[in-house]
């Protein structure tokens, strides 16, 4: 029967164009040869003349040519002056709303490795806003990205050039009646973008990419993302530092491209680790899912579609390292025993920085600072997974290890520099042994500590209930249910007992731990620990 498609068949000719030094708008001719199965040459006009479509790649700011910079600048300038429903402000206001929505959604339970598309959708929206606008027709590149690994004292010239009208420099927020502000933390930015420092953004990115469980990855990923917001916005309100106005800064687009690339790198690492070959539950269970087709295709590798957002990166490198090289760097990092301070976070209702120190025998040693992005319009949220801040070097300076008793000081400061009172749960220690595929969670047992109401751990996790106060007597009891924990229905004798300072490997499930002393139990000293079956 005669037939005709109404959709285009696309054939990748990128390498051919590169070999022939051609651009999409060069002067060239495509010849078509059609042969039947018996070798007969057919009329080439049976097929309509082909067209060439061009999808600009996303590349580092520093690698853009002058022509590409001018092309992007002109398109963004015209888009910023389009105040209609498809203009810059309309798109960025929508991005701010999506960012807030994504922030809320991240707190919900995910099925590993459910895809957090918010970086991709934000990056894609910004890219398409520029590229698909009438003003963006024919631009040579998608909007650029900024590598976290390039040592710099400030922002690239593209964002600081004040000659003429530079749309990447600022933006007049019509809805707020105020220009975008920047308060670039130059000294901190230079320090954190130098790969040689242990707390550099590159090392933070490596530690984020190290996570194999999506939910743990997402918590680390969020804090890595937040850091650049603060380093660019500083103490300013109409800036990258606040949830309400961050998307109006043209730098927002570039930042989210950088973050999205890290998300893509993590996906590739998961393929190398073969995690994406593990079937998703419960879709792969025959007793739950009667559809044979979806059961057979329930592996994450089969459902990732990186082409759906219609853009790509020139490369998936970080710090000049390929994905395979990054995987080896992570293996090297895991070959050493490390310590982390762990905090279970919730929304502050504003953007803030959090500094964590170790106070040991009157001597303070700074562990580090991380950032929480928020605002008045955000919905209340709370994590159940801990954010991990590497304190290996700080502990080493104090001659402390995983067997030491740590006293942490946590100070929270609002983005504008004013102190903020936040009643955070007590931090605890995570020990990641060398070459191990599990973490040891060291929970402090003291009348002075207030553990998070619930902590979710990945499969294989181990727990130590550490005696950190002389008044604490063991053992710790597991009472089987939330109701029992509330009413302190403690099993008699040694039943369900967990001794202090002893390492336990917990099987998947939910545990309700209380003090073995009924009086202390009634003081509310309890913790719920859930080990994911994944």
* Tens-digit pLDDT string for the chain (534 aa): 888 888 888 888 878 887 888 877 788 888 888 899 888 998 888 888 888 876 656 666 666 767 777 777 777 777 777 767 666 776 665 555 545 545 444 443 333 333 344 455 444 555 555 555 444 444 455 556 666 555 556 677 778 877 768 888 888 888 888 999 999 887 777 766 666 666 788 889 999 999 998 889 999 999 999 999 999 999 999 999 998 898 889 888 888 888 888 988 998 999 898 877 666 666 666 776 666 766 666 666 655 655 555 567 777 888 888 999 999 999 999 999 999 999 999 999 999 999 999 999 889 999 999 999 998 888 889 999 999 999 999 999 999 999 999 999 999 999 999 999 999 999 999 999 999 999 999 999 988 889 999 999 999 999 999 999 988 887 999 999 999 999 999 988 888 999 999 999 999 999 999 988 888 888 767 889 999 986
Q: Return the sign of the alpha-carbon dihedral for residues 283, 387, 150, 253.
A: positive
Angle (CA) 3-45-14 rounded to 5° is 90
Strands 338-343 and 387-390 turn out to be antiparallel
Where do the domains of the chain lie, and which CATH numbers do they carry? 439-534 (2.60.40.420)
pTM summary value = 0.77
Other Cβ atoms within 10 Å of 531 Cβ, number:
21
CA distance 249 to 252: 5
């Amino acid at each position: 029967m005669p037939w005709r498609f109404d959709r285009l068949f696309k054939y990748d000719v990128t390498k051919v164009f590169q070999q022939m030094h051609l651009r999409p708008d060069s002067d060239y001719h495509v010849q078509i040869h059609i042969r039947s199965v018996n070798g007969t040459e057919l009329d080439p006009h049976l097929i309509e003349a082909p067209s060439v479509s061009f999808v600009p790649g996303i590349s580092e700011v520093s690698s853009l040519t002058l022509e590409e910079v001018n092309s992007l600048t002109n398109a963004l300038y015209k888009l910023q002056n389009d105040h209609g429903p498809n203009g810059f402000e309309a798109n960025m206001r929508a991005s701010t709303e999506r960012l807030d929505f994504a922030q809320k959604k991240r707190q919900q339970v995910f099925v590993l490795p459910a895809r957090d598309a918010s970086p991709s959708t934000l990056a894609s929206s910004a890219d398409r806003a520029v590229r698909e606008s009438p003003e963006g027709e024919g631009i040579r590149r998608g909007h650029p990205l900024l590598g976290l690994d390039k040592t710099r004292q400030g922002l690239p010239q593209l964002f600081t050039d004040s000659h003429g009208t530079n749309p990447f420099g600022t933006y007049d927020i019509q809805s707020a009646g105020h220009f975008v502000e920047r308060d670039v933390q130059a000294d901190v930015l230079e320090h954190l973008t130098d790969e040689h420092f242990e707390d550099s953004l590159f090392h933070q990115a490596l530690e984020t990419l190290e996570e194999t469980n999506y939910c743990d990855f997402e918590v680390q990923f969020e804090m890595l993302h937040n850091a650049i917001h603060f380093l660019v916005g500083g103490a300013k309100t109409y800036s990258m530092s606040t949830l309400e106005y961050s998307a109006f800064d043209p730098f927002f687009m570039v930042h989210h491209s950088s973050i999205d690339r890290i998300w893509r790198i993590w996906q590739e690492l998961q393929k190398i680790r073969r995690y994406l070959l593990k079937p998703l539950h419960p879709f792969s269970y025959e007793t739950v899912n009667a559809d044979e087709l979806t059961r057979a295709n329930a592996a994450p590798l089969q459902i990732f579609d990186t082409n759906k957002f219609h853009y790509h990166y020139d490369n998936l490198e970080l710090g000049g390292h390929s994905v395979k090289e990054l995987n080896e760097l992570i293996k090297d990092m895991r070959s050493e025993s490390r310590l982390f301070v762990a905090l279970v976070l919730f929304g502050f209702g504003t953007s803030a920085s959090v500094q964590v120190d170790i106070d040991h025998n009157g001597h303070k040693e700074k562990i580090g600072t991380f950032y929480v992005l928020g605002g008045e319009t955000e919905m209340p949220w709370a994590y159940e997974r801990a954010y991990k801040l590497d304190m290996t070097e700080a502990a080493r300076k104090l001659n402390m290890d995983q067997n030491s008793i740590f006293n942490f000081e946590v100070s929270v400061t609002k983005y504008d520099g004013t102190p903020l009172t936040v009643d955070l749960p007590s931090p605890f220690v995570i020990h990641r042994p060398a070459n191990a595929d599990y973490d040891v969670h060291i929970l402090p047992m003291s009348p002075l500590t207030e553990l998070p109401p619930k902590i979710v751990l990945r499969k294989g996790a181990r727990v130590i209930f550490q005696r950190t106060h002389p008044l604490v007597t063991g053992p710790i009891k597991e009472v089987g249910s939330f109701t029992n924990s509330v009413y302190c229905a403690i099993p008699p004798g040694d039943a369900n007992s967990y001794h202090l300072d002893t390492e336990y490997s917990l099987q998947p499930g939910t545990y309700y731990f209380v003090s073995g002393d009924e009086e202390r139990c009634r003081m509310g000293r309890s913790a719920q620990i859930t080990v994911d079956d994944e």
